[in-house]
Structure 1
Amino acid sequence: MSKILSDIEIARMARLKPIQEIAQSMGLKEEALEVFGKYKAKLSYEIIEELKTKKDGKLILVTSINPTPAGEGKSTVTVGLGDALKQLGKNVVIALREPSLGPVMGIKGGACGGGYAQVVPMEDINLHFTGDLHAISAANNTLASLIDNHIQQGNRLKIDTRKILWKRAIDINDRALRHVVIGLGGKTNGIPREEHFEITAASEMMAIFCLADDLADLKKRISRTVIAYNIHNEPVTVKDLGVEGALTVLLRDAIKPNLVQTLEHTPAIVHGGPFANIAHGCNSIIATKTALKLADYVVTEAGFGADLGAEKFLDIKCQIGGILPNAVAIVATIRALKMHGGVELKDLHINNPKAVRKGFANLRKHVETIKQYQLPFVISLNHFVGDFKEEIEEFIRLCEYENMPFAITKVWEKGGQGGIELADQLLSVIHEAEEERTSYQPLYSLSDSIEVKLEKICKKVYGASCVELSINAKKQLKEIEEAGWGNFPVCIAKTQYSLSDDPSKLGRPEGFTISIRELKPSVGAGFVVAYAGQMLTMPGLPKYPAALNMDVNENGQIKGLF
């Protein structure tokens, strides 16, 4: 039996093309690039502006069912689908988020795909890449420092230190920083107060970065960001502090999208990295819009299940950015179906077609969700080596019985060739939708009230029977509406493991209540964050984090990264 190679071993064996050749295949000249070594580059402001007059290509969104803790290979399917479309002779670009060190060093691992469907150089992308996440962290924490310095130096804006909204951020899971006290040690060390860190991928600065249209819009969004309330309970903004220029300076290079390639040399734009369980879970608007100008087909992904990433992509990113998706691929796996069918994680390796049948209810709900947006879809069963024939046959029987288009996808094992069936199916449903003149419709209108938006998401997407706001959330809702932010879309922070706000309720729970404990206006980003259940903005590391398996030898070669 041949050895199964790890992701990093496969990536290291690849023969990458110089990034200039990848750009040339997209019709870009070398002057459009700002090169980072041989295989990475940023796209210049000039080329992004030049491309704005070009016609958009078609956009395919990849989402999934509620995942197991290890994830279901959504990024792998995204990459493999892009490679498959290229093999079919299509002009295609892949658009992905940048990985956060939190999952890389934690439990999920990297976000470059896997097996023979990867974006490369995977070590660089999974670690420091072109420094974008560091720049976002720096901008975030510079603002935090400037707020505390303003208070120390006389507090001209009369900021109420009990009502500072802006939090510090770090790009790693560190539960010890969730609640801290700063300013200790005497008068010269600042004003003592409580502080809260969040992971960079969940920060408002990341959301602002990913929802900005260009550098000018980035500065505008930073400027209007509400950082605190003063002693009269009036909002204080970055513009009031007068530092929007300095913060934009820190992001002026990061805002340029990054260009890399897949193992099969398909162009990939990897830019921005908000989490989908806490934040809005999509790569930058600049990256997606640029990709749509460069290709006839763009394949992108949104984090976690359709209840989180896809809903936020379709209701937040598409409405804010004026983006029109054409089709959706819904990724499922046998192991996730079995988990939703009541099988414990330790027993997912055991053949169990009955659990597949029971867990299918979770997939069925996500299909119903995508149908509400009037978008065509194809289910992608991401095939794993340990899947049993009987389980796959049960999955096929259920899809055929319910007349759901599907494809068995083997991109981890076969690269683009393993995604041809999925690519063909998606091209077919896109064509049918055009013939029937059906097109995307958001779940709610921006003119709906915040309460109506919450009701529509929780009932139509999650399947909840009702939404319950805490006393604090009701008070915050009134303040948000009085401030004129009621027309913002809603970004619900919720567990990724369940359709409900309780991670233990797997499958397709019914008759449950979604509890909203807090509402926070992210004015710079342009949405209202609703915190459901016990969702935290700073994750913790597991008992045995992935970092324990990582090392580097004397030649600089990394092992244990996946």
Structure 2
Amino acid sequence: MKTIDEFTMPYGVVDKIDAFGYLEELKKNPDAPRKHGKILLVTSDTPLKASRGEGKTTATIALIDALRERGIDAAAVLRQPSMGITAAGSKGGASGGGKSSLEHPELADWGLCGEMAAIENAQNLLASFAEKAVDDGLIDTVLVPRVSEVPSRMLRATVVDRGKANVPERTVLTPASELMQIVVLSRSMEEISERVGNMIAGTKDGKAVLFREFVDLWRITNILTDAVKPVKTQTQQGSPVYLHCGPFGNVSLGIPSLVSVEMACSLHDVVVVEAGYGADAGAQKWLDIACREYGAQWPSFAVIVTRATTWRDDPALQWRYPFHVKHLENLDIPTFPLINLWDGEDGEIPELREEAKELGFRTPIIGNLFRDGGEGIADQLDPLIDAIENHPMPSAVHSHKGMSLVENLRWTAEKAYGVPRERVIFKDGFTDSLLSAARLCKSAGFDITELALLAVKSPATMTDDDTAPADERTVTLKKVEPHTGAGVVQVNLTTSLTTPMPKIV
């Protein structure tokens, strides 16, 4: 059997790995030596502001450095950042910070690993094919949007002059694109090709027209040849890190590619997977889309990162962090609070530990991860290591395929956001949007109930108003958009923004 080294190639100062080829090699050689790593899911509290993270990437890097210091073969799988939204690394990113950062942070922060640009180019080429199909009379409406990584007010609404008629078109963020979702969820180039072919280009006389009906799909998959390969890099302390696919668990999947995680699990004993935004966003997508619908491994344990200020300083929002911890614990996922300190907060540690104890949390991990890195928390990991060594591998969870979309939404609102089904509200126009989406799917040969639910929501709120009393919180359903290629159906709720940002944050 070929080793992982034979599927690894230099890409500047980092490496890229043909994960598709390596996993196929493992499938052909089931008795070959390999590991079956457990997954540690890192998510966070719902941030007070969308533009201020809690430090998930910093925590993820500190955790693998600390675990390896304790003798555990741990690696991390991180998401690529959205370069424009993070102002090219000036806010957040996928590289951590301080002593808890990557060896070459600029490669991630500036998008130099290439996959964002390739996915952007490929989807924009699909949009161009759709525009040409209008000119050729194959379709009369364009439903596939263009994409952009660059913040721009001008791209939020465009109208194309076609001579005979002006046709409105859309631009969305690259991470929110259907093609990004396809790359995240696919396990082979053949699957990517099939899924791209199943994307809806537009309609003709009200019926869906798929790209496979008029596009040579190799033109798209060839653009993605390097983009589908995870990057292998390392932390400043030398711990292995794999970096692949897009952010934004609020408006898209917000998780690394499934193949990057599967590959890492075959190579390491513990794989730390970072999920975008809070436990109500990226972690919900990992559990209910990646695991429930796409066969990814259910987490053996989880860490929920918070800042002391997020957790404690706004009385109206203090319910959210304990809710997240309890939610994951109720799923039989041992969940460890990790409090990421700002400078000057070391004196609050005794009080934070006491509050965590009163709330019934497991022993919290507390440290200034930027300043101290993994060294600052290595001696606090005994309970986590005990879970790693003694908690069993989880079994598969049941799918929601076939459940009506509305019932699935009510289930998600109750489990992930703490809003009972009777307080899920339909905004005017939602029912029409749902019926229209169901008809569009049917005309394309798909059943909308077979698509995985992907909630599109605000990154900074779980409900319509998180400051409302518990018995008054609601979730409003607004719009439905099927992504038949990715196999998901997007439903907008609360506030959300999939278009390019109007400003750099």
TM-score (norm 2): 0.90
- The equivalent of 2:345 in structure 1 is 387
Task: From 431, 451, 462, give the equivalent of 1:474.
Answer: 431
SS of structure 1 residue aligned to 2:305? strand
2:64–2:74 contact (8 Å) kept in structure 1: yes
Provide the rounded CA distance (Å) in 2 between the counterparts of 1:28 and 1:410. Answer: 35
The question of 1:261 aligning with 2:234 is answered: yes
Counterpart code for 1:227: A
Note closer, same or farther for the CA distance 1:438–1:221 as it changes in structure 2 (3 Å cut).
closer
AA in 2 matched with 1:409: G
Q: How do 1:31-430 residues align onto structure 2 when only pairs under 5 Å count?
A: 31-43=6-18, 45-52=20-27, 53=30, 54-68=34-48, 69-105=51-87, 108-152=91-135, 154-155=136-137, 157=138, 159-161=139-141, 164-183=142-161, 186=163, 192-231=166-205, 233-324=206-297, 325-341=299-315, 359-387=317-345, 389-390=347-348, 392-405=349-362, 406-421=364-379, 423-430=381-388
Specify the SS of the correspondent of 2:181.
helix
Cα distance change on mapping 1:36 and 1:148 into 2, 3 Å = same
Aligned residues: 485
| CA–CA separation in structure 2 for the residues paired with 1:275 and 1:508 | 28
CA distance in 2, matches of 1:472, 1:422: 51
Q: Write out per-residue CA displacement over residues 82-140 of structure 1, whole angstroms, 9 at most, x where no aligned residue.
A: 11111111122210001111232187342211111112311122113221110000011
Contact 1:229/1:235 (CA < 8 Å) preserved in 2?
yes
Report the 3-state secondary structure (helix = DSSP H, G, I; strand = E; otherwise coil) of the residue aligned with 1:320.
coil
Distance 1:244 1:473, change over 3 A: farther
In structure 1, what is the Cα distance between the partners aligned to 2:176 and 2:60?
Answer: 23
d(CA) in 1 for partners of 2:84, 2:230: 22
| Runs (5+) with no aligned partner, structure 2 | none
Partner Cα distance (1:249, 1:309) in 2:
29
Are the structure 2 counterparts of residues 126 and 140 from structure 1 closer, same or farther at C-alpha, using a change threshold of 3 Å? same
Question: Is the 1:408–1:421 contact (alpha carbons within 8 Å) kept by the matching residues of 2?
Answer: no
- Does residue 1:500 correspond to 2:463, yes or no? yes
Q: In the alignment, which residue of structure 1 is the partner of 2:496?
A: 535
Shift in CA distance, 149/409, structure 1 to aligned 2, threshold 3 Å:
same
Percent of aligned pairs sharing the same letter:
29
In the alignment, is the contact (CA less than 8 A) between 1:174 and 1:538 conserved in 2?
no
Helix, strand or coil at the partner of 1:486 = helix
The whole-number CA distance in structure 2 between the counterparts of 1:217 and 1:293 is 21
1:119 maps to a residue whose letter is: L
Output the amino acid matched with 2:224: L
TM superposition shift of 1:440: 6.9
Task: Give the aligned partner of residue 556 of structure 1.
Answer: none
Give the counterpart letter for 1:169 in structure 2: V
Please list every run of 5 or more consecutive structure 1 residues that lacks an aligned counterpart in the other structure.
Answer: 1-26, 343-358, 547-562
For 1:195 and 1:479, the matched residues in 2 are separated by 19
Distance 1:360 1:397, change over 3 A: farther
| 2-structure distance, mates of 1:470, 1:360 | 28
Q: CA deviation at 1:261?
A: 0.7
How much has 1:509 moved relative to structure 2? 4.8
- Letter of the aligned partner of 2:8 in structure 1? L
Q: CA deviation at 1:55?
A: 4.4
> Structure 1 pair 181/422, CA: closer, same or farther in 2 (3 Å)?
farther
Hey, what does 2:406 align to over in structure 1?
451
Deviations 1:216-242 (A, max 9, x none): 1111111111222221x2211111123
1:244, 1:424 → 2: CA distance?
A: 51
Per-residue Cα deviation, 1:14-62 (whole angstroms, up to 9, x for no partner): xxxxxxxxxxxxx743x33221123343446533422444442100000
What is the aligned partner in structure 2 of residue 550 from structure 1? none
* Secondary structure of 2:246 counterpart: coil
Cα separation, 2, equivalents of 1:439 and 1:494:
29
Q: Which amino acid aligns with 1:56?
A: H
- What SS does the aligned partner of 1:468 have? strand
* Contact kept? 1:373, 1:440, Cα under 8 Å: no
Residue number in structure 2 paired with 1:525: 486
How far apart are the structure 1 equivalents of 2:411 and 2:20?
Answer: 38
Q: CA deviation at 1:469?
A: 2.4
| 1:452 aligned partner, one-letter code | E
The answer to whether the 8 A contact 2:186-2:259 is kept is yes
Deviation (angstroms), 1:541 = 4.8
2:497 and 2:159 mapped to 1: Cα distance?
Answer: 18
Deviation at 1:410, TM superposition (A): 3.3
How much does 1:431 deviate? Answer: 4.0
TM-superposed deviation, 1:494 = 0.8
8 Å CA contact 1:497–1:506 kept in 2: the answer is: no
Q: Which amino acid aligns with 1:230?
A: K
CA distance in 1, matches of 2:389, 2:173: 41
On the 8 A contact 2:19/2:259 being kept in 1, the answer is no
Q: State how far apart, in whole Å, the 1-side matches of 2:383 and 2:211 are.
A: 48
- AA partner of residue 418 (structure 1): G
Alpha-carbon distance between aligned partners in 2 of 1:510 and 1:281, rounded to the nearest angstrom: 30
List per-residue Cα deviations over 1:320-378 (Å, max 9, x = no partner): 33122211101111121245336xxxxxxxxxxxxxxxx54221111122123221111
- State the distance in 1 between where 2:330 and 2:322 align: 13
**1:560 — aligned with what?**
none
Is the contact made by 2:16 and 2:229 (CA closer than 8 Å) also made in structure 1? no
Runs of 4+ in 1 over 4 A off after TM superposition: 437-442, 479-482, 506-510
- Say if 1:44 and 1:495 are closer, same or farther in 2 by CA, change over 3 A: closer
**Amino acid of the residue matched to residue 70 of structure 2?**
L
